Structure 1
Amino acid sequence: MSFTVELIISVLLVIGSVFVLIGSIGLLRLQDLYVRLHAPTKATTVGLGSILVASMIYMTFVQGFFSINELLITLFLVITAPVTAHILAKAAMHNKVKALERTKNMDLMRTAREQLPPEKNQDVK
């Protein structure tokens, strides 16, 4: 394997590791559930994508042929991570998880909660 390929693989691994580390630290340090969702979904998607691309390049040079497994994993990750974050945020909103007082656009959250279907009453006929 040439020095250039090893350098590219190393750079991708370092970039991926830094993004995953930043996402993990953000998950621990951020105070609010809604803000906390951004750290793992954004940073980890880029980080794991970079690590998987580095793995794909390495395996191509070791095996001698292109392997599509890592590319499929990266594609699956890029598609599912934002959808999962959206579902978690929507579930938190429906369960009325409190946001920080300094959160911007709180009126939008209140408006969205008002549009929820009314809760079931005990005296429904």
Structure 2
Amino acid sequence: MIGFYTVMEGVIAFFLIAGGVFAFIGSFGLARLKDFFMRLHGPSKTSTLGVGCVLIASMCYFSLIEGSLSLQGMLITIFLFITAPVSAHLLAKSALHYKLARDPRTLDDIEELKDGEDDEKPNGENGHLP
């Protein structure tokens, strides 16, 4: 019969490997994607999940070693999962405010990124509802 410690070592190894894979994918996306709006997805989603997996593995390891629940790892993980989407949202909003250039392959028609030429036309002529 497989012991409890052997199963927990397998769980910890799984979370460490998954965290490394997600962090690698996030950093690869940050390096390879073309504009700011595309690059924002790498760190905000996959890298956060990768660091979260590593923190969960750390929490499991120290809980196993100490014999009690590791609250510090849990608090760090919760803080990370709360702050990462908020910071990504604020970065995206500031990029929209500064009208950063985007890659032509981005197909969405974002109203905030338009040049401002349509603002001088009366309502209804620029295709927007009044």
Using the size of structure 1 for normalisation, the TM-score is 0.84
Unaligned stretches of 5+ residues in structure 1: 115-125
Q: Distance in 1 between matches of 2:112 and 2:97?
A: 10
Give the secondary-structure state (helix, strand or coil) at the position aligned to 1:74.
helix
- Tell me the number of residue pairs that the alignment of Structure 1 and Structure 2 aligns: 113
The residue that corresponds to 1:55 in the other structure is 58
| 2:96–2:113 CA contact under 8 A, matched in 1 | no
Choose the corresponding residue for 2:37, options 34, 37, 44: 34
Q: Distance in 2 between matches of 1:96 and 1:76?
A: 30
The residue that corresponds to 1:75 in the other structure is 78
Aligned: 1:97 with 2:100: yes
Give the secondary-structure state (helix, strand or coil) at the position aligned to 2:24.
helix
Give the secondary-structure state (helix, strand or coil) at the position aligned to 1:31.
coil
Give the secondary-structure state (helix, strand or coil) at the position aligned to 1:52.
helix
Using the size of structure 2 for normalisation, the TM-score is 0.81
* Identity of matched residues, %: 43
Identify the range of structure 1 (101-110 vs 80-89) with the bigger mean alpha-carbon deviation: 101-110
- Of structures 1 and 2, the larger Rg is shown by 2
The residue that corresponds to 1:46 in the other structure is 49
Aligned: 1:15 with 2:18: yes
Shift of 1:96: 1.3
Q: Distance in 1 between matches of 2:85 and 2:74?
A: 18
Q: Distance in 2 between matches of 1:110 and 1:92?
A: 9
Please tell me the root mean square deviation across aligned C-alpha atoms, in Å: 1.6
